Amino acid sequence: MELIYRKKFHIYPTDVDRYGRLKSSVMLLYAQQVAGEHCEELSMDYDALAAKGMFWAVVRNRIQVTRLPKVGEDIQVETWPMPTTRTAYPRSTVAFDGDGNELFRSVSLWVLMDLKERTMVLPGKSGVIVDGTLRGNELSTPRSLTPKLLEKTLRRSVCFTDLDRNGHMNNARYLDWIADLLPSSFHKDHTIADVTLCYINEARETDHLDVTYGFDPDGCMLVDIHRPTEGHDHDRIFAAKLSYQSLG
């Protein structure tokens, strides 16, 4: 089976924000969809892994945006697995517009989880072998994000529509939550340029989460999401660092 998987997407009105630009969450959903379809071709999809008592989970993601496509455009997304590490399965993705110009690229770090215990299964003990390749244009794998003291806090609850098939909050929904932290006036004049996402613990339905956020001295937006219990690292759910480009 070919190591590079390609798929075309048409950008519908439901995929864009009020300014007609592709939502950052949908960009991530495209990357996850092509990864899932490629895994299905490789016989490593959800059902195949569930039969072995495992499932895929993303622990980190980095996205670099050249241009957000607009409603009505047709784009092509390519994805391929990178060489497996001792702990994870990295995957690269890149998207192009109709003229072959790059729109965005990402690298995601996938791990295998035990379906019942919800603990990580190392590649060497999983029996799952993924042949990876390097094309020379991959982003470097993102590092973890250190917690920061941030000035603003918003309480949100995980609802049914936030959940994915694994029963926890879908990775892309975090980007919707982040977008909601900023007003339309900001989004009108700015688009995402670079984003690092760290998924630290599962968030489940009815969880009440504290979303803390602010901007660092370099103008990057920092986001940390915690369960409202004091003093324990395991209560940290998610972290992100985002830089924006001005359209002015």
Can you give the pLDDT at residue 93? 97
Q: What is the pLDDT of residue 3?
A: 87
Would 1-142 and 143-248 be classified into the same CATH topology? Answer: yes
Instruction: State residue 248's pLDDT score.
Output: 77
Tokens (6 digits) for 21: 């630009």
Task: Calculate the CA 208 to chain-centre distance.
Answer: 21
Q: Which pLDDT does position 232 carry in this prediction? A: 55
Residue at 150: amino acid letter: L
pLDDT at 231: 56
Q: What pLDDT does 161 receive?
A: 96
- Burial-class residue 240 by CB neighbours within 10 Å (0-12, 13-18, 19+): buried
pTM listed for this prediction: 0.91
Per domain, the residue ranges of the chain are 1-142, 143-248
Give the domain 1-142 fold: Thiol Ester Dehydrase; Chain A (3.10.129)
pLDDT at 46: 87
- Tell me how far apart the alpha carbons of residues 141 and 60 are, in angstroms, rounded to a whole number: 8
Name the CATH topology of 143-248: Thiol Ester Dehydrase; Chain A (3.10.129)
Q: What is the pLDDT of residue 45?
A: 87
Tens place of pLDDT per residue across the chain (248 aa):
568 999 999 999 999 999 999 999 999 999 999 999 999 998 888 889 999 999 999 999 999 999 999 999 999 999 999 999 999 999 999 999 999 999 999 999 999 999 988 899 999 999 998 989 999 989 999 999 999 999 999 999 999 999 998 888 999 999 999 999 999 999 999 999 999 999 999 999 999 999 999 999 999 999 999 998 765 555 899 999 999 999 97
Contact between residue 222 and residue 215 where contact means Cβ atoms under 8 Å apart:
yes
DSSP state string for 19-40: TSBBPHHHHHHHHHHHHHHHHH
Given this model, what pLDDT does residue 165 score?
A: 86
> Collapsing DSSP states into helix, strand and coil, what is residue 123?
helix
Task: Please tell me the total number of residues recorded for the chain in this structure.
Answer: 248
